[in-house]
Amino acid sequence: MPRPRYASESFVIVPIFAAGDAQDRRGRTLGALCVTDKLSRGPFHGNDQELLQVLASQAGTALTNAELYEKATVDTLTRVFVRRHFMQRLEEAVANARFRGEPLALVLIDLDHFKSVNDTHGHQAGDAVLRGFGRLLKQVVRAEMVCGRWGGEEFAVLCPGMEGEVAVRVAERIRAAVAAHEFRIPGGLALRRTASFGVACLLPGGERRVAARARRPRSVRGEGRRSQPGRGRDRRARRAGGAAVPGIGRSATAGGAQRAGVPSFARRRCA
């Protein structure tokens, strides 16, 4: 049986344009505002169209602002937050953790030997690996965690309300997911990669500021590399504020802890 055709006694369509500058009042076409079947069952008039044009203009401005906000805060390649916005979220999380007396954890990630991907397969392959890692990272972590690109092949995950032991398990989950994942690159090839991790936590009552110290995170991530010969990468390292953490492994050097880029912690190494 044929489906009945839709019939309407009145119909009006108003395009939605992206907000442009003063010289170009009409930007890109984002969509259309479609209204049909006036309640009075009469036709639409010029006043109706003018009202819809006002609504379409407001919608275009809102959509344009949302697009600009995304461009300013989200990395176009990996689809995680850019470093500047991530630092804003980190500073807010530190303030909230201190105010509420809650723990806060930070996971720092560095893809191992990433330069070799660019040198061997080209920068398009490197972009494909970064893009795939961004997708994988957001799949592995929980929705309330904040993912950011620190720069190049370095990433960070902010874990509000999370203690160090749990953050270490998060890092291990990400590490295992990366090691098991096949990154598809141009040419139909699949690459296997590993990553090194640094885990730091701010416990209630911690004295130093995570956000200020997190600007130089290399020594925390590097601890995952500077271990026994042959075991330097595909590992995670831990620093905890306020107290030692049992069951994490052998202590790292105090000098390395002082040079770390995240809170005031006595660092511990994870096997």
Summarised one tens digit per residue, pLDDT across range 91-144 is: 999 999 999 999 999 999 999 999 999 999 999 999 999 999 999 999 999 999
Q: What is the pLDDT confidence band of residue 206, given thresholds at 50, 70 and 90?
A: low
Residue 215 has pLDDT above 50, yes or no: no
For residues 210 and 145, the model is more confident at 145
Question: Could you tell me if residue 151 is left (phi over 0), alpha (psi between -120 and 50 degrees) or otherwise beta?
Answer: left
For residues 267 and 177, the model is more confident at 177
Residue 90 has pLDDT above 50, yes or no: yes
Task: Report pLDDT for 19.
Answer: 83
Burial class (CB in 10 A: 0-12, 13-18, 19+), 57: middle
Task: Report pLDDT for 145.
Answer: 96
DSSP 139: H
Three-state DSSP class for residue 46 = helix
Task: Report pLDDT for 9.
Answer: 78
Compute the average pLDDT of residues 223-239.
50
Q: What is the pLDDT confidence band of residue 233, given thresholds at 50, 70 and 90?
A: low
What are the catalytic residues?
153
Residue 225 has pLDDT above 90, yes or no: no
CB within 8 Å of 6: residues ≥ 6 apart: none
For residues 260 and 125, the model is more confident at 125
Task: Report pLDDT for 38.
Answer: 83
pLDDT in tens, 62-73: 999 999 999 999
Residue 77 has pLDDT above 50, yes or no: yes
Domains and CATH numbers, the chain: 11-71 (no CATH), 83-269 (3.30.70.270)
What is this structure's pTM? Answer: 0.69
